Amino acid sequence: MNEDEYEASESAGLTEAELNETIEELCKYKADEFRLIGYEQVTGVDIWNCVSDKYVKTGQPMLHQMVSDILSLKVTSFMNWMTMSIYRGDARF
């Protein structure tokens, strides 16, 4: 966690462990949502990998941006990311 992320979590009153737990729960909820519409194999880890993939170049954003990115993730965006990951040969699948 860099200094900006630490300040963001401190201003929200969260420790790093609480922040990680919160993000993990949000990803699980999003995976549950995908399962409700027929995407049975999606996990919270898959959701996080998809969302965090765009943070590789820019670094992790503020908490509110991560929450927004997770909750606004659409199935089509997730499936596009999954397809591109498979083409790139990512070993996560």
Q: Classify residue 11: in a domain, yes or no.
A: yes
55-66: average pLDDT? 91
Q: Classify residue 93: in a domain, yes or no.
A: no
How would DSSP label each residue in 63-77? HHHHHHHHHT--HHH
pTM of the model: 0.80
Q: Classify residue 29: in a domain, yes or no.
A: yes
Mean pLDDT over the full length of the chain: 86
Into how many domains does the chain fold? 1
Q: What residue has token string 């943070």? A: 55
Q: Classify residue 31: in a domain, yes or no.
A: yes
Q: How far apart are CA 90 and CA 75, in angstroms?
A: 19
HSE-up of 21 (CA within 13 Å, CB side)?
5
Q: Classify residue 25: in a domain, yes or no.
A: yes
Q: Domain span at residue 72?
A: 3-88
Q: Classify residue 44: in a domain, yes or no.
A: yes
CA distances for 53 relative to 10, 20, 28, angstroms:
24, 16, 17
Encode pLDDT of 30-45 as tens digits: 999 999 999 999 999 9
For position 89, what pLDDT does the model report? 84
